[in-house]
Copies of this chain bind each other. A is one copy, B any other.
Amino acid sequence: MEKPYVLGLDMGGTNSVLGIVDARGHVIARTSIKTQEYKEIQQYVDALYNAAIQIIEPVGGIELFRGIGAGAPNGNFYTGNIEHAPNLPWKGIVPFSKLMTEKFGLPCSITNDANAAAMGEMTYGAAKGMKNFIMITLGTGVGSGIVVDGKVVYGHDGFAGELGHTVAVRSETARICGCGGKGHLEAYASATGVARTAKEILQTTKKKSLLRDLDIDHITSKDVYDAAEQGDEVAKEIFDFTGTILGQKLADFIAFSAPEAIIMFGGLTKSGHWILDPVVKAMNDNVMAIWKDKVKVMFSDLKEADAAVLGASALAWEE
């Protein structure tokens, strides 16, 4: 019997969203549970199953499902485990795929959020038909999923693609990253990085800015965008600084895997051309001659509400 559906799970530190996805990439039903309410992983899996059944029965039952794909922090594709995820309630190594398969009776694959996003773009989104591209997620952190020859790069241990934790600024005064590293891309090109840049510029200069009307400790990338739209020079400077650092690093990434495109996703992309223009300029100013003006830089074209579920679900078609 043909199985027309898969389940995609977007597991976040706060919410876990589970969607039913068809082969054309439509999320035809969804449900969610609160991740933090389940202190034991088995309770979480049980609750997820109970929620899932409510949307599965109306479409015809679980025998119409091919499998489950899950995007989760520190999800390891090779082992099916979630390993030492700092923002989840379950400590140590959690055999997530195994528990899901036991409960649902379906194969379950897992990977981290950024790799899932790359799968989603390749299966349903901007990277359809591409065999070599790099996905960069610009949210609270900076994640990445690298696709080489049509496959996500997992590496020797399953943890490849941590481009947010490569060094963007190598100096004594470089920022400390959330991971403890120094000068990492994530400390500059994330939403948090933009907020830090805003605070630094406002505190160390006397430049006039609309941003001075806001609480300096709670400026968001959305605030900076709004100010840029109103012609605010400091806001533009923040995006130029951020985009230049990101573009310089993209040039290094290109030298690694020679991708056809770099696809960006996440909160910061809502800043549109304010962030895109300096990224593209710095990238082309820094790549080798053979790649100048040849690598596309684009935003994801998946709907934000669906993207994470779609990305996770894409894993399940490969099972």
List residues of A whose CB falls within 8 A of some B CB: 131-132, 146, 148-149, 151, 153-163, 165-167, 169-171, 179-181, 248, 251-253, 255-260, 286, 288-291, 294
Contact = CB atoms under 8 A, between A and B. Distances in A.
Contact of A288 (B156, B162, B260): B162
The CB with the most chain B CB atoms within 10 A, among A251, A260, A288, is that of: A288
Contacts of A156: 131-132, 258-260
Given A155-B132, A156-B258, A288 B179 contact: yes
Contacts of A179: 288-289
Contacts of A155: 132, 148, 257-259
The main secondary structure of chain A at its interface with chain B is loop
A257 B160 contact: yes
Contacts of A158: 258
A162 to B, nearest CB: 4
A155 B146 CA distance: 11
Given A132-B156, A179-B289, A289-B179, A166 B256 contact: yes
Contact of A153 (B157, B169, B257): B257
10 contacts: A149-B154, A156-B260, A160-B258, A162-B256, A165-B288, A166-B251, A167-B252, A170-B170, A170-B248, A179-B289
